[in-house]
Every structure is written in structure tokens, then in C-alpha cells.
């Protein structure tokens, strides 16, 4: 069933599959854009079994966990709240990220549709934001418009939660009162969700700075760039996060004199991110054993996608459909200018990502670790894995293992992999 703009007032968009903090903040920021949003619970073993029951048994476990969690949430709406399947498919939609390539992540959308169909919710709209298309999905008449406003809401929620999740795991092993960290961070999340849900539009003062790049960007992309830069240049997020840091400083007491081994968790993208049965509740287990967990931010994967675009631009430099003779000077100049413009745009996106992440880190006290540069990870992995082999996180798992291992940046590495993950198997 298609989801059009006219149905936004009655359709609730469901998110899920990452951490609870990311889901809550994503709902808060997206609701500010005028959408009705909700999250389904963190996937557990029963969700996994439901995903296998209604789906393709050959898919990797993240697909089973996420699709199963979605369909069991819809079943609860049907059985516990008395909603009919017809009502559910007309008043709910599911939004997720998609991809392509050898990783079966590219099949998650079709797998989700299969599970919904077999469970009796086949007409439920499934909205997929494809990583390869980016803002090309923007359509003013679509029910969920994947435009620059949605992109900035998504990006802000992810980056803020990356920093918050890392800060949480840095404090949890050293709390003086058991459970105090969870209580304080619940209070922080309540404040932050309310703060972000009422975010004002970016100040007009930021617009002259955004327009400085007009000469770099085609007319069709200028509105997108202005919106992104306005969100990045405003201090709205910084103000809210500084208040979060004050709450943590005032209400949480820790004792850093107690030693704890530092365990870095890497692996397949979803398994290293989720907090439930999908990664064997690994974070909870390690902390019970007395370890400090260094979680992997989603920001690393987003930076990886930017780096992939950079490497593709380098590989295709000067490539044309037909060979150009040496005397076609103007064509060579146009090709060189196009390549330079592509590199400049990619560099701008990379700068926006890292600047925003660093501002968030500093607003929370500067405790969270800075991002490792993608060029470093690519160089370390190069002798063992070609960065042109796409799928999942590509060469990142190898690069991160070497980076943290040879740099003596942790006491132990844990690589989490779902069954049948093709990139991790490579």
C-alpha cells in the first residue's frame, strides 16, 4: 500500500533495530518535522524465531531479528489493543535503511516485505532510505520525504547517541551506586527528547555562511546544502547537550580509582550496535565481568560511506564513455573540473560529519573518543583486504582490529558476527 503525503496525519511511522537511545532521539527529531512516529522494542530471541518462521531461513540473523521484532509488534497491536490487520496497514508504516551489493543487507527490505506478507500484514508500507541514493529519494508528495530535513534529523540523532552511548559505557563500570548510571541517563534522555522535539528552525544569521558555497553547488542542490549547513552552524544542539552534561555531573558519582580492563567491541555493523539478544547481550555481560566497554559508533560506518564515495571518484578520474583525443583540451578541462568539484563536495560532507560529531563530544565534556580517520583504517587493512570489495562494513573490521591491536588502545578485542554474514566471513 503506497504512503502519500495526504496520509501523514493518520499514519504512524515505526522505527527500530538500533539502540533504544538512538530510536528515542530519532523519534523526537523526526516528530518535529510533522510526522507521527513510534519505536518497537529491542529485538529478542522470540523476535528472531518469528523472523525465521515467517521469513527466509537463509537470511542473516539481523534480518530475522528486525523483521521479527516488527511483525511481533504488529501482532501485539492486533491481539492486545484490538486493532484489525486492515486498520494496522492503513495507519502504520515501517522505515529502515537499505543498501545494495554482496552483503545481504541489500535484501532486508524484500525480506521484511516477505515476513509481513506471511504474517498477514502484507500491505503495510515499507519505506527504505537507500545509502547509495542519499537525498535523491526526496519527493514532496511522498508520505516520508527523505529530504535534507529528514537527513539532518537522522544524522543529529545518530551522532548525539553515539557520543551518549560511549559516555554511558565509560561511566557504568565506575558508578558508586549500582544502577545509578541507568537512572541518570534515563533522566538525560527524557530531557533531551523533549528538548529536541521542540527545536526551533535554524537562525537566519546562519544563511549568509551557507550561501558562501553557492558557486560550488548546482542550483538543484543549493537548498539541500543551505539546510544542512544551517543545522550544523547553529548552536542549538550544543546548548541542550551542555545541560545533559550538567545533569550527569550533578547526579552521578563515579570512582575511577578502581581498575577495569578496556574491551573494544567490533564486528558486523548491526551486531556490534544493538543492545539485546542480537549481540548476545555482550555489553551487559562484559560489564558484569568488570570490564569497561568501548562501543563502536555508527558514525564510523557513515564516514566509511563517504570514504567509499571518495575512493570511487579517484578510481573514475578522467574516465569517459569514449576516449578523448589529446587535443580535446576543453573536454579534458571539463573532466578535471568535474572531478575537482566532486572531491570538494565529498570533502565538505566529511567536514560536516566530523565537525558536528566533535561539537557534540565537546558539549558532553570531551570524554568520548574522537573518530579514527578512514584513510588510516583503509591503509592498515590494505595488505589484507582491498577497499574496493564492498558489502557491510567492507574493510573496516580488519582495519579496526589492526588499529586497536597494534596501537595498544584496548586490553581485548571482541568481534561480534551474526551467522552467515558474508563480509565478516571474508
State pLDDT tens for residues 240-275. 999 999 999 999 999 999 999 999 999 888 888 888
Q: Is the pLDDT of residue 213 over 60?
A: no
What average pLDDT does the segment 347-368 reach? 89
Structural element, H or E, at residue 36: strand 36-39
Query: Which of 152 and 372 is assigned the larger pLDDT?
Result: 372
Say yes or no to pLDDT of 16 above 50. Answer: yes
Q: Is the model's pLDDT at 62 over the cut of 60?
A: yes
Enter the DSSP assignment of 372.
P
pLDDT at residue 231 in the model = 62
Nearest to 221 by CA among 378, 333, 342: 342
Q: Does the pLDDT value for residue 208 go beyond 60?
A: no
pLDDT for 19 equals 85
pLDDT of residue 419 exceeding 90, the answer is: no
Q: Inform me whether the pLDDT recorded for 76 exceeds 80.
A: yes
Say which residue, 393 or 222, is predicted with more confidence. Answer: 393
pLDDT reported for residue 109: 81
Q: What pLDDT sits at residue 378?
A: 96
Quote the pLDDT of residue 230.
61
Note the pLDDT of residue 205.
43
Q: Is the pLDDT of residue 134 over 60?
A: no
Q: Residue with C-alpha cell 563515579? A: 254
Q: Given this model, what pLDDT does residue 2 score?
A: 74
d(CA 128, CA 138): 12
Give Cα separations from 179 to 162, 164, 187, 293 (angstroms). Answer: 21, 17, 13, 16
Asked if pLDDT for residue 88 goes beyond 50, the answer is yes
> What cell does 215 get?
558557486
Question: Which is higher by pLDDT, 209 or 22?
Answer: 22
The answer, yes or no, to whether residue 314 has pLDDT greater than 60, is yes
Work out the number of other CB atoms within 10 angstroms of the CB of residue 285: 13
**Structure confidence at residue 173 (pLDDT):** 95
- Indicate the pLDDT class of residue 98, thresholds 50, 70 and 90: low
Cβ neighbors of 10 (< 8 A, separation 6 or more) are: 36, 90, 91
Q: What is the pLDDT of residue 220?
A: 47
Compute the radius of gyration of the chain from its Cα atoms: 22
pLDDT of residue 263: 97
Q: What is the pLDDT of residues 100-130, one digit of tens each?
A: 555 666 677 888 999 999 999 999 999 877 5
370-412 pLDDT, tens digit each: 899 999 999 999 999 999 887 778 899 999 999 999 999 999 9
Amino acid at each position: 500500500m503506497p504512503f502519500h503525503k495526504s496520509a501523514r496525519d493518520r499514519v504512524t511511522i515505526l522505527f527500530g533495530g538500533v539502540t533504544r537511545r538512538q530510536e528515542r532521539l530519532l523519534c523526537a527529531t523526526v516528530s518535529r518535522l510533522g510526522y507521527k512516529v513510534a519505536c518497537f522494542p529491542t529485538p529478542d530471541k522470540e523476535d528472531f524465531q518469528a523472523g525465521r518462521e515467517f521469513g527466509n531461513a537463509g537470511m542473516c540473523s539481523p534480518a530475522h531479528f528486525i523483521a521479527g521484532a516488527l511483525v511481533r509488534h504488529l501482532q501485539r497491536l492486533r491481539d492486545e489493543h484490538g486493532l484489525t490487520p486492515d486498520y494496522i496497514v492503513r495507519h502504520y508504516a515501517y522505515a529502515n535503511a537499505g543498501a545494495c551489493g554482496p552483503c545481504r543487507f541489500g535484501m532486508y527490505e524484500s525480506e521484511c516485505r516477505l515476513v509481513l506478507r506471511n504474517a498477514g500484514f502484507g500491505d503495510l508500507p515499507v519505506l527504505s532510505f537507500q545509502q547509495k541514493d542519499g537525498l535523491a529519494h526526496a519527493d514532496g508528495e511522498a508520505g516520508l520525504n527523505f529530504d535534507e530535513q529528514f537527513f539532518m534529523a537522522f544524522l543529529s540523532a545518530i551522532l548525539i547517541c553515539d557520543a551518549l552511548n560511549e559516555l554511558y559505557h565509560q561511566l557504568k563500570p565506575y558508578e558508586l551506586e549500582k544502577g545509578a548510571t541507568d537512572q541518570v541517563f534515563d533522566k538525560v534522555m527524557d530531557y533531551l527528547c523533549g528538548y529536541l522535539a521542540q527545536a526551533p528552525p535554524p537562525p537566519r544569521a546562519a544563511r549568509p555562511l551557507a550561501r558562501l558555497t553557492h558557486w560550488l553547488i548546482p542550483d538543484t542542490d543549493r537548498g539541500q546544502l543551505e539546510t544542512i549547513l544551517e543545522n550544523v552552524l547553529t548552536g542549538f544542539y550544543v546548548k541542550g547537550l551542555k545541560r545533559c552534561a550538567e545533569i550527569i555531573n550533578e547526579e552521578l558519582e563515579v570512582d575511577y580509582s578502581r581498575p577495569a580492563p578496556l574491551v573494544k567491541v567490533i564486528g558486523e555493523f548491526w551486531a556490534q550496535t544493538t543492545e539485546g539478544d542480537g549481540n548476545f547481550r555482550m555489553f551487559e555481560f562484559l560489564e558484569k565481568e568488570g570490564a569497561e566497554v568501548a562501543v563502536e559508533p555508527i558514525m564510523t560506518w557513515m564516514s566509511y560511506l563517504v570514504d567509499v564515495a571518495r575512493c570511487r571518484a579517484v578510481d573514475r578520474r578522467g574516465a569517459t564513455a569514449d576516449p578523448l583525443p589529446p587535443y580535446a583540451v576543453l573536454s579534458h578541462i571539463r573532466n578535471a573540473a568535474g572531478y575537482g568539484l566532486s572531491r570538494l563536495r565529498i570533502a565538505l560532507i566529511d567536514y560536516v560529519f566530523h565537525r558536528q560529531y566533535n561539537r557534540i563530544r565537546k558539549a558532553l565534556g570531551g570524554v568520548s573518543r574522537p573518530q579514527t580517520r578512514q584513510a588510516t583504517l583503509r591503509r592498515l587493512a590494505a595488505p589484507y583486504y582491498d577497499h574496493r570489495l564492498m558489502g557491510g562494513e567492507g574493510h573496516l573490521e580488519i582495519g579496526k582490529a589492526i588499529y586497536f591491536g597494534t596501537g595498544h588502545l584496548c586490553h581485548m578485542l571482541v568481534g561480534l558476527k551474526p551467522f552467515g554474514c558474508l563480509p565478516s566471513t571474508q
